[in-house]
Amino acid sequence: MAQSPTPKNKANKSVVTGSTIPRPPVVVVMGHIDHGKSTLLDFIRKANVVAGEAGGITQHLGAYEVHHTTAEGKAGVITFLDTPGHEAFCDIRTRGSQVADIAVLVVSAEDGVKPQTLEALSCIKAEELPYVVAINKIDKPGANIERTKQNLAEHEIYVEGYGGDIPVVPISALTGQGVPELLDMLILVAELENLSGDPTAVASGAVIEGSLHPKKGISASLLIKNGTLRVGTFVVAHDAISPVRILEDHLGKAVKEATFSSPVKVIGWDKLPLAGTPFIVVENKKEAEEIAAKNAQQNPITTDNTVYAEGTIVIPIIIKADVVGSLEGIQFELKKIKHDKVKIKIIAAGIGEISERDVKVAQSTPDTILIAFNVKPDAKAKSLLERTPINVQSFNVIYNITEYLQKLATSKIPKEYIDQSIGKAKILQVFSKNKDKQIVGGKVQEGEIRLGGEVKILRRDIEIGRGRIKELQQQKVKAQEVREGYEFGTLIESKIEIAQGDKVECFETVEK
């Protein structure tokens, strides 16, 4: 059965009555890591975000307002949430879909549906979001729109014309072809959703992202879903509060107030508000503190307190990242590093510059690695690091962190060696013995006997000692090896006296 793009009973949708008026839609764009999601947003807002992101991957959750006039002449505003497309940011992407009204699922006209496409779709379905499919890269030589629609249907994504009613728009994020039509479609879907808000109400919404600036302090990006946020009030996000003294719009411009569907930045929090946390607004600090006290709960950015089994090799690390989204992405990826005998243990994690305290914590635990993601040491930490042999590793792409730690963990795994049998021979005759050197004759029963090879000396199939083949002959001619079924003469160096009827097993030691 085709899935309707319009869910029922959405909490953020209401009939326009009284002081309630239509509000702009909040759109989340999702898709596989390289299907062009960031390029699409880049084209829409005419700002190159991709070039500024290491590895070409968008690594933070952002929000942007876009003004668009439809082909029918209707002027509208669309707020886009920019959620990362890789599975490492599953938690961030899920938060994005929770505050969105409409989703755009970007699928490549070359590659079709990928596992991350389905993962993004599961987030969309979990939130019952109406969504539009954007078939991207139609300008590529290998693009095939009809084949992509068929591929979508094979994964139970039934677009218009292929057994369903999910809107589909072919686009090229690179050239802009089809992008106006996509924006038209989003405004149409928003009209069908009857999105509305009350500008006279007290503002409410969700935290998009939190960050720590060494000079400005703690700031947070907020998305207003209803009401109006004004300078002079107080914002509460669980147990974090902030006076609204400095309010910036998505362009960084200072504003006195902002209303629904607008992304804004509030600076001056007493602690880092967690991304995805709902916020409310109150009139005074006392009320804000009372609400925060009631909402006080443990910070989910926790350290690993696991006690590991004896013999486990633990690699302690401290993670410092630029923003919460990055930190969560790193922690998500580190869960994939699995070894039976080596464990990655996060002894501390946080955002902002590497501090003197971080270095001292690293000093307190031997062999700690300090992982820095898009951050540098502050002045005190830098001075201390110059006198302290702490292993600091800096990165600007999350997957480089996991690659580094994966290799490190593998190198720490204790080497195990086993004796691998090459061949066995029975001793038919002992010719002479001179100290540790014995000349014997025998016949290979299985495998082969090699010159220079180590041998186990077996008596009634029980090992009684070991030796090494120093010389080897077959039919009185020097040989490198003698194979199964052939007789040989050999000089074996061993402290164990070999007897007729014993067996020698040639083996090599290999890493398990």
CATH of the domain at 335: 3.40.50.10050
pLDDT tens per residue, range 413-437: 878 889 999 999 999 999 999 889 9
pLDDT over 70 (residue 55) = no
User: Does 171 lie in the same domain as 63?
Assistant: yes
Q: CA-CA distance, 24 to 491, in Å (whole number)? A: 91
CATH of the domain at 85: 3.40.50.300
CB 264 within 8 A of CB 224: yes
User: Does 95 lie in the same domain as 242?
Assistant: no
CB 175 within 8 A of CB 139: yes
Measure the N-to-C terminal CA separation of the chain; round to a whole number of Å: 52
Which residues touch 63 (CB under 8 Å, ≥6 apart)?
26, 79, 80, 81, 82, 208, 221, 223, 250, 263
Tally of CA atoms within 13 A in the half-sphere of 170 that contains its CB: 12
Domain that holds residue 257: 204-293
User: Does 457 lie in the same domain as 338?
Assistant: no
Q: CA-CA distance, 420 to 112, in Å (whole number)? A: 48
Domain assignment of residue 396, yes or no: yes
Last residue of a domain, one of 262, 293, 324: 293
User: Does 181 lie in the same domain as 44?
Assistant: yes
What pLDDT score does 85 carry?
45
User: Does 348 lie in the same domain as 289?
Assistant: no
Q: CA-CA distance, 288 to 236, in Å (whole number)? A: 6
Last residue of a domain, one of 389, 412, 435: 412
User: Does 428 lie in the same domain as 502?
Assistant: yes
Residue 52: Cβ-neighbour burial (10 angstroms; 0-12, 13-18, 19+)? exposed
Q: CA-CA distance, 94 to 53, in Å (whole number)? A: 21
CB 100 within 8 A of CB 11: no
Q: How does residue 50 score in pLDDT terms, banded at 50, 70 and 90?
A: very low
pTM of the model: 0.61
Domain assignment of residue 302, yes or no: no
Domain assignment of residue 106, yes or no: yes
Q: CA-CA distance, 334 to 353, in Å (whole number)? A: 21
User: Does 255 lie in the same domain as 404?
Assistant: no
Helix axes 398-412 and 324-334, enclosed angle (nearest 10) = 30
Domain assignment of residue 474, yes or no: yes
User: Does 214 lie in the same domain as 192?
Assistant: no
pLDDT tens per residue, range 340-376: 788 899 988 888 889 888 898 888 888 999 999 999 9
User: Does 219 lie in the same domain as 192?
Assistant: no
User: Does 184 lie in the same domain as 324?
Assistant: no
Last residue of a domain, one of 230, 262, 293: 293
User: Does 167 lie in the same domain as 54?
Assistant: yes
Q: How does residue 100 score in pLDDT terms, banded at 50, 70 and 90?
A: confident
Domain assignment of residue 391, yes or no: yes
Give the containing element (helix H, strand E) for 402.
helix 398-412
Q: CA-CA distance, 423 to 421, in Å (whole number)? A: 6
Domain assignment of residue 9, yes or no: no
What pLDDT score does 10 carry?
44
CATH of the domain at 445: 2.40.30.10
User: Does 157 lie in the same domain as 34?
Assistant: yes
Domain assignment of residue 305, yes or no: no
Domain count, the chain: 4
Domain assignment of residue 14, yes or no: no
Which residues touch 70 (CB under 8 Å, ≥6 apart)?
76, 183, 184, 187, 188
Beta pairing partners, 134: 106, 169
Q: What sections of 71-202 are H helices per DSSP?
A: 90-99, 115-126, 145-154, 179-193
pLDDT tens per residue, range 294-343: 877 544 444 455 666 677 888 999 999 988 778 878 888 888 888 878 88
pLDDT tens per residue, range 1-47: 334 344 433 444 544 445 788 899 999 888 877 778 888 888 887 74
